[in-house]
Amino acid sequence: MGSVMRELQQFVAVAQRKSISAAAKYLHISQPALSRSIQKLEESYGAPLFVRNGAGVELSPFGMALYTRAIRILPTIEEARDEIRQLQGKSRAIVRIAAGDLWGLVILPQVTRLFAETHGNALVHVEIVDEAERLRGVRDGVYELAFGTFAGGQENSSSLQFEPMVSQGTSVYADANHALAGRATVQASDLWNYRWINPGYEDDGGLNYPGAPPRDFAARVDTVMHAVQLLRTSPFLMSASSGFERLFADLGIRAIDVRDNARMSVERASGAAYPVRALERPMLRDFLRLARQCAQETLYR
């Protein structure tokens, strides 16, 4: 890779992490070497690209001008490089995807299996990350596609498209032998007598209706699957997407039939966010087509 492209990649890494030491660790280079690279880049532009502060660094107005263009240029160059290597038979096509738990655990495994049948030379790389990271990553070119809910980020722009594919509400889950799981119906007021597990993010969905008391959390974990392990054979409750019901049932976890569920569970649109130019690539169009199909079949069959 040319020195200019390498310097731009290093510049973007520092800008996104707001720390030279954190960026150096991410890039697997020494901090002095990265500092020299940034200094060289600043000298070439004749302007300071970062403002140093006690917590790290921030982009200067000059740096922001470069950053907004670098995050558009770098992915395009990488795509061209990858396509050339693929045409030469030297590498596999890579589809980089960010997903929320529902998509990553329930829907995308099926999409990936079907995609692999017709794209044998492609590698699908899925990362389960939170909503803010999904949106930031797809905007910055870290991911080509992102799947999940995007509160406040569902408005299409000239560069970013959001395509709703399914609607998901919030369900309350418990171990199959939980006291509430055996009842025909449960009042919402009954839920607050138990402690809860918070599965990291995208948990609060429909439970924050006016007048709902704060929940007593017993544990907060990073993933839904970790939360399920804690939920099994315990008296705890957990709220998560209604789309997990089939998967959780196979793991001994039941959705509780809450009488006030219509009041609690406000459905949210869930789907794909991607740069408009992603539709220019047949491979990504194929992946999106399969995602639409599998989302409908998996959640609504």
The pLDDT profile of the chain, 301 residues, written as one tens digit per residue, is 467 788 888 998 899 888 999 899 888 899 999 999 999 999 999 999 999 887 889 999 999 889 888 877 777 677 677 667 656 665 567 888 999 888 988 899 999 999 999 988 788 888 888 888 888 888 888 889 999 987 654 555 667 889 999 887 888 999 999 999 888 888 888 888 999 998 875 555 556 666 677 888 999 887 788 888 899 889 999 988 888 888 898 889 999 888 765 455 567 788 999 988 888 888 899 999 999 999 988 876 5
Res 226: pLDDT = 84
Res 288: pLDDT = 96
Q: How far is CA 236 from CA 95, 243, 244, in A?
A: 38, 20, 17
Tokens 């970013």 correspond to what residue?
Answer: 160
Answer whether 0.75 is exceeded by the pTM. no
Res 16: pLDDT = 86
Q: Where are the beta strands (DSSP E) in 89-214?
A: 93-99, 122-128, 145-148, 160-168, 170-175, 195-198
Quick check: 35 and 69 in contact, CB under 8 A? no
CB-based contacts of 56, cutoff 8 Å, min separation 6: 17, 18, 19, 20, 22
Res 174: pLDDT = 93
Q: Cα–Cα distance between 45 and 60 in angstroms, integer? A: 13
Q: H or E element: which one contains 79? A: helix 61-87
Rg (CA), the chain: 23
Q: Where are the beta strands (DSSP E) in the chain?
A: 50-53, 56-59, 93-99, 122-128, 145-148, 160-168, 170-175, 195-198, 216-220, 237-241, 253-255, 268-275
Write down the CATH number for the domain with range 3-71: 1.10.10.10
Quick check: 147 and 108 in contact, CB under 8 A? yes
Res 43: pLDDT = 92
Domain with CATH 1.10.10.10 in the chain: 3-71
Q: Which residues pair with residue 249 across a beta bridge?
A: none
Write down the CATH number for the domain with range 92-166+268-300: 3.40.190.10
Domain with CATH 3.40.190.10 in the chain: 92-166+268-300
Res 152: pLDDT = 54
Neighbours of 32 (CB within 10 A): 10
Q: How far is CA 88 from CA 82, 93, 125, 283, in A?
A: 10, 12, 22, 18
Domain with CATH 3.40.190.290 in the chain: 170-264
Pick the CATH number of 170-264 from 3.40.50.11860, 3.40.30.10, 3.40.190.290, 2.40.160.20: 3.40.190.290
Tokens 């794209």 correspond to what residue?
Answer: 119
* DSSP code, position 234: S
